[in-house]
Amino acid sequence: MKKEALTLVQIDDLSVLTQRASLLPKLSEEFTAIMKEDDVSLADLLQGLEREQLWRERHAGVILMFVFLRDLERDFGR
């Protein structure tokens, strides 16, 4: 069974109900194909996310300083 989303648009007294196919199945197939092509597993992706989170936690102070300096330069110029 193919599931589709319904969208209800109301303008004053006019109501229109339309069907809209979900993009999720198509995107999922494309993502899976890319993973297979690059020989990347779900475990690889999760491990990469874990490494990125650890990096962000270790370097949070540096990142905040760069954001602070960027905002200062944007707001006050050099």
pLDDT at 23: 81
65 phi and psi, to 5 degrees? -65, -45
**How far apart are alpha carbons 33 and 55 in whole angstroms?**
28
Cβ atoms of 9 and 18 within 8 Å: the answer is yes
Residue 26, pLDDT score: 87
The series of mean pLDDT values per 10 residues for the chain, 78 residues long, is 76 88 86 94 94 88 86 83
